[in-house]
Structure 1
Amino acid sequence: MPTQLEELVSFLHSPQPAVRQIALDNLVGFSTGTNAAIFKYDNYRAIEDLKDLSKEKSKPLVQQSVTILANLCDDVVARRLIIKDEKYLKYLSLKICDLNNSSADIMCILLSNLAKEDGITAVLNFVTGKDDDELPTLDASTFKSQYVMDCLIDCFVKGYDRKLNKFATFDYLAYFFADISRFRKGREYFITAQEYDNVVPISKLLVFTEKYDSKTRREGVASTIKNSLFDSESHEKILNDEDINLLPYILLPITNAKDSEIDEEDMFNLPDELQLLPEDKVRDPVPEIICVHLESILLLCTTSAGREYMRSKSVYPLVRELHKNIDNEEIDELCNRIVNMLMRGEPAQNSNIEEMPVKNAEDSADAILETVKWI
């Protein structure tokens, strides 16, 4: 016999809108923690009901159903049931880009939660166009690309101040970008110029490494940068492409204008963006985000060309100043490893440090970098 709560879950597919709304009102609070087990009732039938409810025109129905779906992503089975429905995944991705969507931000959270699964790479293939009556039509004056992924990037870049959609900031797309960049196909997207505007997507995100009023944006973008550097064969291209101009946006968050012991020659070699910092320039206030940028620097040190580039741009003095002025065990460890890579001599013959590839979506930069070695 079903429990009272399980019976309530079954009301999500009631033909009466008022009953469905009452069920949602009472179920949102049970969608996290151990209570979420009630949604397993009737072989997870609620997942289909919630997806249907998230397409309704009523804002409360949409907000509550998407919130429950986002919370249920903690359950691997539920998460996989949602993402295997590519039709729904496409609907969700396009609906985020609907500039009149008052639930866009909670949908961004759901999309980012789904990005733990391999199936998220399907988003990279989705195209706009009304091939289904359920799919929204996007504003052609705002979105110039036929690919939904490009449109999501445009939402994130152009919509941070609510001028694109007054209901949304799209901040949580940063976490979606970070997770999809864990997959090779995602990394390739971020470092490849797109046909519709001939711009490399990662270059559009870099400015948000300094957006100190949004931890979500900074954290997600920092992780996207780091993940995009997992493939060492792309490092030389990325570092030398002036249209990307990656290095300053990794270094600025770890730099303080009051760092005093950088001599004139080292200062001259720094990227232009770091040579005349305003007096109020401070480091990123979140140590964990600084660590992500240090991991990116460490990844860029896995080839001899990358190390030489880091030396030529006075990366060592900046890391030294960070090390001296921040009391944090993890930052201390990462700084020591970078200094070790940059300041010890190169092998007698021209060679690289062996790249340790990402073997699956769960690998981290730290796991890879612990195993680099001279060859």
Structure 2
Amino acid sequence: MPTELEELVEFLHSPQHAVKQIALDNLVQFSPANANPKLFAYDNYRPIKDLKEIALKRPETTTTIMVGHAVTILANLCSDTEMRRLITEDDAFIQFVASSIIDLTNRNADLFCILLANMAKLDYITRIFDMDISGVSKDDAFTSSNIMDCLMDCFVKGADRSLNVNANFDYLAYFFADISRFKHGRDYFVTEQDYDNVVPISKLLVFTEKYDSKVRREGVASTIKNSLFDTEKHMKLLTDEAINLLPYILLPIAGSEELDEEEMFNLPEELQLLPADKKREPISDIIAVHLESLLLLCVTREVRELLREKSVYPLIRELHKVTKDELVAELCDRLVQMLMRDEAPTTQEVDAMNSDESDDDEDRIVEVA
């Protein structure tokens, strides 16, 4: 005999609108925390297909509430590896989910953002970079027809609900963080885009101190960190005035501590003379991500020297004094080791020293016994 939950899952396939609605109303509160996701593996995972069909919202058979429930269940089911694969490895569904976010009349846009973020755990999601808007009229808010560009614009321009009164697009931050784990994603964020001649990562930096949205701060911090795994772009990200990455990593970890005058005026301009009520990022895990970004930047000597010039060490020193978090303290220690250690001579310096030694050898008189 099937259980009540098993019967509800089977009802998702019912041709009757009312039956599907009853099933969704009940199932949305059960998956996945207090129900076994394997319930949705019934009949070779047919419920996954049913939920996708409901999410596609054919007006004659589906309501906005039903779509919201279906998308919520799909987002939760992404916690199961196989179900996430079945949900994600579907080009048409990826395009539909992204286009639903870009549809500025969509009342469920934020739920679709959560679903897209959960789908981005798989590298298959990088196919989104080759997709254009489909089935949605291009709003004046978008100057590109490329879906990824439009998602960026939603996130940047829509934070105050000015694009869609029903959505703030915050959870796109987690989508960006996950897709930047993959090479194609990292390349996108650190490469100037043709449609607006802007490097995408530069659009996200302002949100590192958006204190009314933990999701944005956390997702953007992780996107920055992941974008730094390819070292060849580090100096451009730090020295290009149109990007100016360093202050946006340092500001969240800086408090109101007083530095001496020399340390203060070596800091990036944005960190000089901070107000007495300057708040440090309140969440230790987010501070840790910024510290990890600094460690990634320390990979090359050229950047380490730049970080020393910009008084990064005094900020780390002051953070270490006040932190009570073990991971933050450990990362501070590692950064101090990287920034305060003596550097080995460069190849050019070694060549110069060898040249000097060679000259000495030539001048030396060899005594004959």
TM-score by length of 2: 0.91
Equivalent residue for 2:331?
Answer: 334
- C-alpha distance in 1 between matches for 2:333 and 2:27: 50
Q: Which moved more, 1:94-103 or 1:33-42?
A: 33-42
- C-alpha distance in 1 between matches for 2:315 and 2:235: 21
Matching residue's letter, 2:153: D
Once the two structures are superposed, what CA deviation does each residue of 1:143-178 show, in whole Å capped at 9, x if it has no partner?
A: 001210010011111111111100001000000000
Equivalent residue for 2:85?
Answer: 80
Equivalent residue for 1:9?
Answer: 9
- Structure 2 contact 264–273 (Cα < 8 Å) conserved: no
- C-alpha distance in 1 between matches for 2:46 and 2:330: 48
Structure 2 residue runs of 5 or longer lacking an equivalent are 349-369
Equivalent residue for 1:40?
Answer: 41
In structure 2, the CA distance between the partners of 1:170 and 1:350, relative to structure 1 (3 Å rule), is farther
Distance apart, 1:30 and its partner CA: 2.5
From 70, 73, 80, the equivalent of 2:75 is: 70
Matching residue's letter, 1:282: K
- Structure 2 contact 120–175 (Cα < 8 Å) conserved: yes
- C-alpha distance in 2 between matches for 1:267 and 1:337: 22
In structure 2, the CA distance between the partners of 1:196 and 1:11, relative to structure 1 (3 Å rule), is same
From 265, 278, 290, the equivalent of 2:262 is: 265
- C-alpha distance in 1 between matches for 2:87 and 2:324: 43
TM-score by length of 1: 0.89
Matching residue's letter, 1:265: E
- C-alpha distance in 2 between matches for 1:111 and 1:66: 10
> Which structure's CA Rg is the greater one?
2
Q: Which moved more, 1:172-181 or 1:14-23?
A: 14-23
Distance apart, 1:276 and its partner CA: 2.4
Alignment of 1:212-291 (within 5 A): 212-257=211-256, 259-260=257-258, 262-291=259-288
- C-alpha distance in 2 between matches for 1:39 and 1:249: 43
Q: Which moved more, 1:339-348 or 1:31-40?
A: 31-40
- Structure 1 contact 171–216 (Cα < 8 Å) conserved: yes
Q: How many residues are matched?
A: 343
Matching residue's letter, 1:211: K
Distance apart, 1:266 and its partner CA: 1.5
**Percent identity over paired residues:** 62
Distance apart, 1:183 and its partner CA: 0.4
- Structure 2 contact 238–246 (Cα < 8 Å) conserved: yes
- C-alpha distance in 2 between matches for 1:350 and 1:138: 54
- C-alpha distance in 2 between matches for 1:125 and 1:245: 28
Alignment of 1:1-375 (within 5 A): 2-33=2-33, 34-56=35-57, 57=59, 58-128=63-133, 130=134, 135-139=135-139, 141-257=140-256, 259-260=257-258, 262-350=259-347
Structure 1 residue runs of 5 or longer lacking an equivalent are 352-375
- C-alpha distance in 2 between matches for 1:255 and 1:115: 32
Distance apart, 1:55 and its partner CA: 1.8
- C-alpha distance in 2 between matches for 1:127 and 1:280: 45
Matching residue's letter, 2:284: P
